[in-house]
């Protein structure tokens, strides 16, 4: 099984995550094409920088010709501007009266649309609601899976802020996080993470930093309220740095993407990437490290040879179930998409006969133990159930890896399952085949058959 590990010893933010993905091998062109498809007037600036002796990739979002502005600088300049206007009685419009930055030490937080807005004060206009953001994501030329993941990240941000302010999530308007650069960060993260072909994302305990942070509603201790809400159940700590290291966007990405929070997992390391934050701390590398490789059994990590390779690995999953007799097919489909985007291992429905002979649906969710609470929260929020059942089960799983084959129409990733040295199953990645079929107007099954043929020829050759 191919896994990715996020080492958040210096926190996490949207742009640090993008930098780590590019550094680990995601083509910069993929992200640039994704940004162009959003049609939000933004572009990426990608550079290599040094962070306390570590060379890392830095990603900046350029909007209207301007680079990200640190949040502390933004709010400081805004207070100076207000003070000047109070003294002189003059109002001065600025082209970018908002922060763009999503660096781990400076990113803005979600704010609520509680007062009127001057629609000419900056090029982004009024705050964006979730409906508008969903529309931008839906119109982008990216895969359905990436759209679901990006939407889930924004949904998590909205739900966290709605809970803090005790309002309905649909009334939330994103000012700082909803700006163009945040949409770029989140959609880019969804597209790039999908391209890696990772089966499971694991996240380390998160260094949240310390001190205070200034945002739309005033000064708050670090971590910011939305960050705290998003990281419920996750292991966190505060180091010596008195800066905001985990931003709301970074927390939402980790919460949505990671199936579990744990120490460095047993793996055969394949790729490593470093994403840089804007600040360069003394004697502390301000980077997010991404490590990708093939998972191995915990006890096998200390062995040179594996005598037990003839047996499939065993792990433990939680099964979450709910009986539903009043859910529409559309609602069930949406709930399944939300659960999968939030890290469920599998979601499936079975027809059942309930009391009073009512037809119903058994909704079953397979989850990593660490992700159980998040998935239960989604079931209560999105489905019509009044309760869920949870049990622990053991399962035997084949080791999996991903290899790529080159067809006449483009690259297709192949999921290869094996028991020891014996390959037991091979399947082409559906999203890759679907994209090729749509772009070249050829049957999906033809693409899948061709990918399997090429893989077989390679093995036999």
263 & 276 share domain: yes
445 & 331 share domain: no
Whether 167 shows a pLDDT value over 90: the answer reads: no
Report d(CA 450, CA 342) in Å as an integer: 32
Candidate from 121-125, 168-172, 295-299, 377-381 with smallest mean pLDDT = 121-125
DSSP string for 445-458:
HHHHHHHHHHHHHH
Whether 456 shows a pLDDT value over 70: the answer reads: yes
b/e per residue, 431-449, with b = 16+ CB within 10 A?
bbbbbbbeeeeeeeeebbe
> 324 in a domain, yes or no?
yes
197: number of CA atoms within 13 Å, CB side? 24
Q: Which two tokens stand for residue 82?
A: 């207000």
* E strand segments, 264-407: 267-276, 287-295, 313-324, 346-353, 359-367, 389-397, 399-406
Report d(CA 263, CA 366) in Å as an integer: 22
Report d(CA 200, CA 2) in Å as an integer: 7
Most confident of 82-86, 120-124, 202-206: 202-206
> 253 in a domain, yes or no?
yes
Question: Quick one: pLDDT at residue 68?
Answer: 58
pTM: 0.61
Higher pLDDT, 304 or 178: 178
415 & 380 share domain: no
**Class of residue 367 by CB neighbours under 10 A (exposed 0-12, middle 13-18, buried 19+):** buried
Average pLDDT, the chain: 82
In 3D space, the residue among 317, 273, 284, 269 whose CA is nearest the CA of residue 11 turns out to be 284
What is the tens place of the pLDDT at every residue in 59-114? 999 887 766 554 444 444 545 455 455 555 544 433 333 343 334 443 333 343 32
338 & 436 share domain: no
247 & 363 share domain: no
Alpha-helical (H) ranges within 277-362 are: 329-341
What integer is the mean pLDDT of 428-444? 94
> 233 in a domain, yes or no?
yes
What integer is the mean pLDDT of 320-346? 91
Question: Quick one: pLDDT at residue 95?
Answer: 34
With bands split at pLDDT 50, 70 and 90, how would you rate the model's confidence at 434?
A: very high
381 & 335 share domain: yes
3 & 147 share domain: yes
Q: Are 175 and 111 in contact (CB under 8 A)?
A: yes
Whether 124 shows a pLDDT value over 50: the answer reads: no
> 308 in a domain, yes or no?
no
407 & 319 share domain: no
User: Which residues constitute the domain of residue 335?
Assistant: 313-397
In 3D space, the residue among 48, 77, 167, 173 whose CA is nearest the CA of residue 119 turns out to be 173
Q: How far apart are the first and last CA of the chain?
A: 25
With bands split at pLDDT 50, 70 and 90, how would you rate the model's confidence at 14?
A: very high
> For 65, which DSSP code?
T
Count each helix (H run) and each strand (E run) in the chain, helices first: 12, 20
**In which element (H, E) is residue 37 found?**
helix 28-38
> 441 in a domain, yes or no?
yes
Candidate from 89-98, 144-153, 179-188, 439-448 with smallest mean pLDDT = 89-98
What integer is the mean pLDDT of 362-382? 90
> 428 in a domain, yes or no?
yes
Question: Quick one: pLDDT at residue 283?
Answer: 86
What integer is the mean pLDDT of 209-220? 80
Question: Quick one: pLDDT at residue 111?
Answer: 43
Report d(CA 108, CA 178) in Å as an integer: 10
Q: What is the CA radius of gyration of the chain?
A: 23
> 355 in a domain, yes or no?
yes
> 318 in a domain, yes or no?
yes
* 44: three-class secondary structure by DSSP: strand
Q: Are 451 and 404 in contact (CB under 8 A)?
A: no
Whether 293 shows a pLDDT value over 60: the answer reads: yes
Whether 299 shows a pLDDT value over 80: the answer reads: no
What integer is the mean pLDDT of 324-352? 91
279 & 345 share domain: no
Q: Are 34 and 188 in contact (CB under 8 A)?
A: yes
The structural domain count of the chain equals: 3
Q: What is the CATH number of the domain that holds 453?
A: 3.10.20.300
Q: Are 319 and 390 in contact (CB under 8 A)?
A: yes
Report d(CA 38, CA 179) in Å as an integer: 13
Whether 177 shows a pLDDT value over 50: the answer reads: no
With bands split at pLDDT 50, 70 and 90, how would you rate the model's confidence at 394?
A: confident
Candidate from 29-33, 94-98, 138-142, 429-433 with smallest mean pLDDT = 94-98
Candidate from 93-107, 236-250, 332-346 with smallest mean pLDDT = 93-107
Domain stop point among 397, 413, 443 = 397
Longest CA–CA separation in the chain, Å: 81
Residues 6 or more apart in contact with residue 190 via CB below 8 angstroms: 142, 146, 147, 149, 150, 153
Q: What is the CATH number of the domain that holds 339?
A: 3.30.70.1380
* 156: three-class secondary structure by DSSP: helix
442 & 321 share domain: no
94 & 82 share domain: yes
185 & 285 share domain: yes
Q: Are 110 and 14 in contact (CB under 8 A)?
A: no
Name the percent of the chain lying above pLDDT 70: 80
Domain stop point among 362, 397, 432 = 397
Domain stop point among 237, 270, 303 = 303
């Amino acid at each position: 099984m191919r896994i990715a590990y996020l080492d958040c010893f210096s926190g996490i933010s949207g742009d640090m995550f993008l930098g780590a993905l590019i550094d680990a091998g995601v083509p910069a062109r993929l992200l640039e094409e994704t940004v162009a498809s959003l049609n939000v007037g933004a572009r990426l600036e990608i550079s290599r920088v040094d962070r306390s002796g570590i060379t890392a990739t830095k990603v900046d979002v350029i909007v209207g010709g301007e680079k990200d502005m640190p949040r502390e600088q933004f709010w400081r300049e805004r207070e100076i501007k207000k003070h000047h206007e109070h003294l002189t009685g003059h109002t001065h419009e600025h082209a970018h009266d908002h922060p763009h930055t999503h660096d781990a030490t400076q990113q803005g937080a979600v704010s609520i649309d509680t007062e009127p807005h001057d629609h000419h004060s900056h090029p982004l206009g009024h705050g964006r609601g979730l409906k508008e953001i969903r529309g931008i994501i839906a119109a982008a030329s990216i895969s359905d899976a990436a759209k679901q993941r990006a939407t889930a990240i924004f949904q998590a941000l909205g739900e966290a802020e709605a809970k803090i302010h005790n309002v309905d999530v649909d009334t939330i308007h994103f000012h700082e996080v909803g700006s163009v650069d945040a949409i770029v960060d989140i959609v880019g993260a969804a597209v790039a993470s999908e391209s890696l072909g990772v089966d499971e994302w694991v996240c380390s305990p998160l260094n949240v930093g310390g001190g205070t942070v200034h945002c739309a509603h005033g000064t708050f201790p670090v971590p910011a309220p939305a960050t705290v809400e998003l990281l419920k159940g996750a292991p966190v700590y505060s180091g010596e740095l008195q800066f905001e290291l985990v931003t709301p966007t970074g927390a939402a990405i980790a919460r949505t993407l990671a199936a579990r929070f744990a120490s460095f997992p047993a793996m055969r390391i394949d790729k490593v990437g470093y994403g840089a934050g804007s600040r360069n701390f003394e004697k502390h590398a301000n980077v997010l490290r991404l490590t990708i490789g093939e998972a191995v059994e915990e006890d096998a990590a200390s062995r040179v040879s594996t005598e037990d390779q003839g047996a499939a690995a065993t792990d433990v999953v939680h099964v979450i179930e709910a009986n539903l007799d009043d859910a529409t097919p559309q609602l069930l489909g949406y709930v399944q998409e939300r659960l999968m985007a939030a890290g469920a291992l599998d979601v499936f429905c079975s027809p059942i006969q309930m009391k009073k002979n009512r037809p119903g649906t058994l909704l079953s969710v397979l989850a990593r133990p660490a992700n159980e609470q998040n998935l239960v929260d989604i079931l209560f929020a999105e489905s019509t159930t009044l309760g869920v059942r949870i049990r622990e089960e053991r399962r035997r799983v084949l080791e999996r890896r991903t290899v790529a084959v080159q067809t006449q129409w483009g690259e297709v990733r192949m999921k290869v399952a094996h028991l020891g040295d014996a390959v037991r199953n091979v399947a082409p990645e559906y999203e890759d085949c679907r994209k090729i079929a749509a772009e070249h107007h050829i049957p999906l099954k033809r693409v899948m058959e061709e990918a399997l043929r090429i893989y077989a020829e390679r093995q036999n050759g």
